[in-house]
């Protein structure tokens, strides 16, 4: 009997081109496993799943569209994540009466590419550009919510893509600049990158939700290695990010004060400098994976996002 790991990897290899309207019977298990089927609650909902081309990658792109949508919300996940872990944010957008667009970054989830690898963060930026182009017909305003590395990708897009008005509202959740312990990580990278392609991943305690922490190591679309090249790509992106002039785009940054994944005390002053119109709000007791935090932290976070988008 085929397990979810084999089934979901097979699904990734059989995705049709996005927008063809082709139905995927084998996708039902994927939707059920990750709680991505919202049709019982939203009876007029139209869901699309397929791939778009982005450079050398096939990106798995999904949309949940409802009649008379008031806006379109884009979701950008964090490192090692994928759309399947963001069902709560999808539901949040649908309850607001919005369309929701979500995609797996290169090397993640159902998208192609060596697992969790990237040679240049510009590939993440290009993915955002290509997703926007593929969903250009969806109604605005366009809003984006991005977690961690997804936040770094959105910041890179805002700085470099020449489309400062592509999003009408931007929300970053624990955005990545420097990871916690970056000096040690970088020293290890410089010592090992010529000899090793990857190092074992340790699943960090990055949430106060015990069910999420128990589920994550068993998730069929996770990866248990950290590719060394990703650390080099992050180092190159950091140098470029810090050298760029400030970006005037307004945005909301939500940061947990118990986050041990990113070095938020060092990051926030830099984010204020690079995005002087940013509004930064702290989430008491929040850890790193804010999308899958405890119910209390999630409720606080979603309330703040809703108020910001409404304004």
3-state SS string over 96-141? Answer: CCCEEEEECCCCCCCCCCCCCCCCCCHHHHHHHHHHHHHCCCCCCC
Span 260-273, average pLDDT: 98
Q: Please say if the pLDDT value at position 1 is more than 60.
A: no
Q: The whole model's pTM is what?
A: 0.97
- CA gap 77, 82 in Å, rounded: 6
According to the model, what pLDDT value does residue 22 have? 78
Residue-wise burial string across 226-239, b where 16 or more C-beta atoms lie within 10 A, e elsewhere = bbbbbbbbbeebbe
Span 120-127, average pLDDT: 97
Q: Please say if the pLDDT value at position 15 is more than 90.
A: yes
Span 136-155, average pLDDT: 97
**What residues pair up with 170 in beta bridges, in sequence order?**
144
Report yes or no: 8 and 82 within 8 Å, Cβ to Cβ: no
Among 55-69, 185-199, 213-227, 235-249, the least confident range:
185-199
In this prediction, residue 53 has a pLDDT band, given cuts at 50, 70 and 90, of very high
Q: Residues of the chain with pLDDT > 90: what percent?
A: 86
In this prediction, residue 59 has a pLDDT band, given cuts at 50, 70 and 90, of very high
Domains of the chain with CATH codes: 4-310 (3.40.50.1820)
According to the model, what pLDDT value does residue 9 have? 86
Q: Residues of the chain with pLDDT > 70: what percent?
A: 98
Q: Please say if the pLDDT value at position 2 is more than 70.
A: no
According to the model, what pLDDT value does residue 227 have? 94
């Amino acid at each position: 009997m085929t397990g979810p790991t084999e089934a979901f990897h097979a699904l990734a290899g059989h995705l049709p081109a996005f927008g063809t309207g082709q139905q995927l019977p084998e996708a039902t298990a994927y939707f059920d496993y990750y709680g991505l089927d919202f049709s019982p609650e939203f009876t007029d909902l139209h869901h699309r799943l397929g791939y778009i081309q982005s450079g050398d990658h096939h990106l798995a792109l999904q949309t949940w569209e409802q009649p008379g949508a008031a806006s379109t919300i884009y979701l950008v996940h964090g490192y090692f994540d994928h759309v399947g872990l963001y069902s709560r944010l999808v539901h949040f957008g649908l309850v607001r009466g919005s369309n929701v667009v979500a995609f797996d970054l290169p090397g993640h989830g159902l998208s192609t590419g060596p697992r969790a690898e990237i040679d240049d963060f510009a590939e993440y930026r290009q993915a955002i550009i290509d997703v926007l182009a593929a969903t250009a017909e969806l109604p605005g305003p366009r809003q984006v919510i991005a977690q961690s590395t997804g936040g770094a990708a959105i910041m890179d897009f805002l700085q470099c893509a020449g489309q400062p008005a592509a999003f009408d509202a931007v929300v970053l959740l624990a955005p990545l600049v420097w990871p916690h312990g970056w000096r040690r990580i970088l020293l290890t990278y410089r010592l090992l990158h010529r000899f090793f392609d990857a190092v074992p991943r340790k699943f960090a305690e990055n949430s106060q939700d015990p069910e999420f922490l128990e589920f994550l190591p068993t998730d069929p679309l996770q990866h248990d290695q950290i590719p060394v090249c990703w650390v080099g790509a992050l180092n190159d992106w950091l140098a470029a990010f810090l050298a760029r002039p400030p970006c005037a785009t307004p945005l909301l940054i939500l940061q947990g004060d118990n986050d041990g994944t990113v070095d938020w005390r060092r990051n926030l002053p830099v984010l204020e400098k690079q995005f002087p119109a940013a509004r930064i709000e702290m989430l008491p007791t929040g850890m790193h994976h804010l999308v899958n935090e405890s119910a209390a932290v999630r409720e606080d976070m979603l309330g703040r996002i809703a108020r910001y988008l409404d304004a």
